[in-house]
Amino acid sequence: MYDPKERPTRAGDGLGAGRGAGKPARKSRRCLSCAQWFDSAGVEERVCLLCKAGEDWADAMAACHGHIAW
């Protein structure tokens, strides 16, 4: 029978165990545009701020109306 007291938690059910669940993976990564190293806020940030400030990035954002799905 189901007992809510025995329900597994997110940390205990293997969904986030060992990965520091909830903490971003902040580290140095290479920019996918210019290949320079930069301090990334997480795995989803792969383009440096200098490249994002350029015209190419602005044109790409305008072309997709700000909706980029990676």
**Tens-digit pLDDT profile for residues 40-69:** 998 889 999 999 998 888 888 888 876 665
Q: Is 80 exceeded by the pLDDT of residue 13? A: no
pLDDT (average), residues 10-34:
68
User: Are the CB atoms for 34 and 48 separated by under 8 Å?
Assistant: yes
- Cα(53)–Cα(55) distance, integer angstroms: 7
Strand, coil or helix: what is 47? Answer: coil
What is the per-residue pLDDT for 30? Answer: 95
- Cα(20)–Cα(24) distance, integer angstroms: 8
User: Are the CB atoms for 48 and 33 separated by under 8 Å?
Assistant: yes
pLDDT in tens, 27-43: 999 999 999 999 999 88
Rounded alpha-carbon distances, angstroms, from residue 60 to 13, 56, 65: 40, 6, 8
